[in-house]
A = this chain, B = another copy of it.
Amino acid sequence: MPRHKGDHEARRRDVSGAVWRVLAARGFGGLTLRAVATEMGATTGLLTHYFPNKQDLLAHALTLLDERRATRPRRVAAPAAEGLAALRAALLDILPLTPEAAADNRIWVSSWDAALADPDLAAGHADRYGRSRERIRRHVAAAQGLGELPSGDPDDLAAAIQSFVLGLIVQALLGAEAFPPERQIRLLDRYLAALTTPC
């Protein structure tokens, strides 16, 4: 049978689907060519056609994570919110408040080990989290413009807010019983309330 571009694209989707399922089940630590091949019912040899080495596979997995984050519907609706309300909605949307959000975050957290072990992946992650801080910074600047947050370096404030949320995600994933959704929301709201008071 002749091989068409459509076949290739369909196979790429199959591969991406298998990569995603392995990530969801085992995290980056369990993401190997063999695991993806087994998930697809294919040979490792076929996989090396797509990913000549482990780093290519990890890079592809991070790209899938980016695409998923960019295209998934928001979990927390924020129809007409701006300023502090938009910031709060964006942060709630990240926190592991639902099983789906916990699964996504679990994959992101597990990617840090892979990134710290590889300079190229680490540079990609530095960019990713820099862009994430930039998104938060825009909300902070808008809230400052509305008089909802005191003035002050919005870059530092964005970095502080991202710190708080990332650390809350880590603790909630590692200790789900101690961090039910209502506690995560309470902690976030108290943190934001402390920010709004000019201290």
Q: Could you tell me if A187 and B125 are in contact, using CB atoms closer than 8 angstroms? A: no
A163-B168, A175-B130, A194-B195 are known contacts. Are A113 and B116 too (CB-CB below 8 A)? no
Q: Which A156-178 residues sit within 8 Å CB-CB of chain B?
A: 156, 159-160, 162-171, 173-175, 177-178
Q: In the complex, which residues of chain B have a beta carbon less than 8 angstroms from the beta carbon of A162?
A: 167, 171
Copies, count: 2
The A interface, classified by DSSP as helix, strand, loop or mixed, is helix
Which of B29, B129, B175, B179 makes the CB contact (< 8 A) with A113? B29
Q: Could you tell me if A116 and B27 are in contact, using CB atoms closer than 8 angstroms? A: yes
Q: In the complex, which residues of chain B have a beta carbon less than 8 angstroms from the beta carbon of A166?
A: 166-167, 170-171
Q: In the complex, which residues of chain B have a beta carbon less than 8 angstroms from the beta carbon of A101?
A: none
